[in-house]
Amino acid sequence: NDLLLDPFIRPNALASDVKVEDIPADYLLISHGHEDHLADAEEIGKRTGAMIISNYEIVSWYANKGLSNGHPLNHGGKKAFEFGSVKYVNAVHSSMLPDGSYGGNPGGFVMEMEGKTLYYAGDTALSMDMQLIGKYQKPDMAILPIGDNFTMGIEDAVIAADFVQCDKIVGMHYDSFPPIAIQKEEAKAAFEAAGKELILMEIGSSLEF
């Protein structure tokens, strides 16, 4: 099973070498309605028939576009799928869809599969709710936004890593637009000083955990 999270490829200058038409997907997980999280979801969903997992409003928006293979969640809700389970968790952000439609409330995903737990925060501020994830789910790896301006920055992401009790962090939501450009070495050093590892993946690279 291939899970694809928040595809933002064709309009993303950094991802110009990635071929959207070759990306496999059995499940498409969409955290919120912003263009830079779902730009390629319709195309990939139509080609692959992947199940769209998101909040009710976003799943309904895609159903109206003919993508009827969707599974809606709402905050706190967990559902078992063939590959494992997904829980939709709180994110502090906004969620309007590209055409101005209401995109529900934004979220993140806690995924449990093959004995591992992965937390994908989506776009969010630091929030006390992250402590619940640390207390009860203890992710093996967490994907956190670090670009500041529209989401947490590095300083708060280090605290978030502490809240979710995870030492292995993959950074996201940085460098794609000028306001969210980061200093990579400084970012890694900030996590290292807190006893944590910040992984900044090259586009097209892979990672096992």
CB 100 → Ni ion: shortest distance, Å?
Answer: 15
Q: Which is nearer to Ni ion, 45 or 145 (CB)?
A: 145
Q: Which is nearer to Ni ion, 173 or 196 (CB)?
A: 173
Q: Which is nearer to Ni ion, 123 or 148 (CB)?
A: 123
Asked whether position 173 contacts Ni ion by CB under 5 A, the answer is no
Question: CB–CB of 62/7 below 8 Å?
Answer: no
CB 122 → Ni ion: shortest distance, Å?
Answer: 8
Give one DSSP letter per residue of 34-54, joined into a string. Answer: -HHHHTTHHHHHHHH-PEEEE
Q: Hey, is 128 helix, strand or coil?
A: coil
> What element of type H or E holds 65?
none
Kindly write out the interface string for residues 29-48 of this chain, putting x where it contacts Ni ion by CB under 5 A and - elsewhere: -----x--------------
* C-alpha to C-alpha distance for 159 and 134, rounded to whole angstroms: 12
* C-alpha to C-alpha distance for 47 and 143, rounded to whole angstroms: 27
Strand ranges for the chain from DSSP E: 3-5, 27-29, 51-55, 70-73, 78-81, 84-90, 107-113, 116-120, 141-145, 168-172, 197-199
Task: Pick from 6, 40, 112, 123 the residue near Ni ion by CB under 5 A.
Answer: 123
Task: With contacts defined by CB under 5 A, name the span among 69-77, 96-104, 116-124, 141-149 that binds Ni ion.
Answer: 116-124
Residues numbered 92 to 111 that lie near Ni ion (CB under 5 A) are none
Q: Which is nearer to Ni ion, 130 or 180 (CB)?
A: 180
Write out the residues near Ni ion by the rule CB under 5 A.
Answer: 34, 123
